[in-house]
């Protein structure tokens, strides 16, 4: 059973701080990794994808992948109240469906 | 708007009726995925389809649920004889292929009374 684990939170950070969201996965053969943001009552929105070890930056977001440790993270710099949402980690390997974690709820306090 | 489209956005059915949920993928995408999300729970994969083919239906309940993606027209998720436990948000996503970014539609909120 392929699993993706996330701390459910809530993770509370003050406005302007760095929010760090973490995700571990069980399948060492996983190849593709994604972060989605989901506001309450809305559909998931793709934020970042990462396929190789290291960091990938896009604006205020940085995804970090460490395949040896089976760990992927998302950093949000200069957090804003509008970043308050649930963040979903998703992992893909082989021909199996994308596996989602249950999400981490982030609350940015103004 | 070339995004993933789903309709209806809200659907109310009485127990025992049929529910039909439609999904049109993003332009250029031929891979469609259906997910179910219960309140306060995570996304659960249901089925993965390409045009005219079901690739993976490992997450689909064995009874009452079916899905198709015909050569022409949208993908359809069909739930026969709905029960209260089917009440959930059903999301469709599309991609250019397995392992690539999936983009989600706005979802269909199904309520069974």
Measured distance CA(A104)–CA(A62) in Å, rounded: 16
Q: Tell me how far the alpha carbon of residue A98 is from its chain's centroid.
A: 14
Q: Which residue has the tokens 């929010």?
A: A19
Q: Assign A33 a pLDDT band (cuts: 50, 70, 90).
A: very high
Judged by CB atoms closer than 8 Å, whether chains meet at A44 and B101 is answered as: no
Whether A10 and A105 have beta carbons less than 8 Å apart is answered as: yes
Rounded to the nearest angstrom, the minimum Cα separation between B17 and chain A is 25
Q: Show pLDDT as tens, one digit a residue, over chain B (113 residues).
A: 579 999 999 999 999 999 999 999 999 999 999 999 998 788 999 999 999 899 999 999 999 999 999 999 999 999 999 999 999 999 999 999 888 999 999 999 999 99
Whether B20 and B86 have beta carbons less than 8 Å apart is answered as: no
Neighboring chain B residues of A90 at a CB cutoff of 8 Å: 102
How large is the C-alpha radius of gyration of chain B? 13
Measured distance CA(A82)–CA(A39) in Å, rounded: 10
User: Longest Cα pair distance anywhere in chain B, in angstroms?
Assistant: 38
Whether A73 and B13 have beta carbons less than 8 Å apart is answered as: no
Specify the pLDDT at position B1: 53
Specify the pLDDT at position A93: 86
* Facing B45 at nearest CB: one of A98, A102, A103: A98
Judged by CB atoms closer than 8 Å, whether chains meet at A97 and B56 is answered as: yes
Specify the pLDDT at position A22: 96
Specify the pLDDT at position B42: 84
Residue A56, pLDDT > 60, answer yes
Neighboring chain B residues of A103 at a CB cutoff of 8 Å: 42
Cis ω on the peptide bond leading into residue A20 (within 30° of 0)? no
Give, as one character, the DSSP assignment of residue A78: S
Cis ω on the peptide bond leading into residue A33 (within 30° of 0)? no
Chosen from B49, B54, B58, B102 to mutate, greatest number of chain A CBs within 10 A: B102
**Nearest residue to A10 (alpha-carbon basis) of A1, A19, B49, A18:** A19
């Amino acid at each position: 059973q392929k699993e993706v684990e996330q701390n459910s939170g809530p993770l509370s950070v003050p406005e302007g701080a760095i929010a760090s969201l973490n995700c571990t996965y069980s399948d060492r053969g996983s190849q593709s990794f994604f972060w989605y943001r989901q506001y309450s009552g809305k559909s998931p929105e793709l934020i970042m994808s990462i396929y190789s070890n290291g960091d990938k930056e896009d604006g205020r977001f940085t995804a970090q992948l460490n395949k040896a440790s089976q760990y992927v993270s998302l950093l949000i710099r200069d957090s804003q109240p509008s970043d308050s949402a649930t963040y979903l980690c998703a992992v893909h390997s082989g021909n199996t469906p994308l596996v989602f974690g249950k999400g981490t709820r982030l609350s940015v306090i103004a | 708007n070339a995004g993933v489209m789903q309709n209806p956005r809200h659907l109310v059915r009485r127990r025992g009726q049929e529910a039909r949920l439609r999904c049109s993928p993003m332009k250029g995408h031929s891979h469609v995925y259906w997910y179910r999300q219960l309140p306060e729970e995570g996304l659960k994969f249901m089925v993965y389809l390409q045009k005219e083919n079901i690739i993976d239906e490992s997450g689909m309940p064995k009874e009452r649920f079916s899905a198709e993606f015909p050569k022409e027209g949208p993908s359809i998720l069909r739930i026969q004889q709905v029960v209260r436990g089917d009440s959930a948000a059903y999301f469709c996503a599309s991609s250019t292929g397995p392992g690539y970014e999936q983009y989600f539609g706005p979802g269909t909120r199904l309520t069974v009374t």
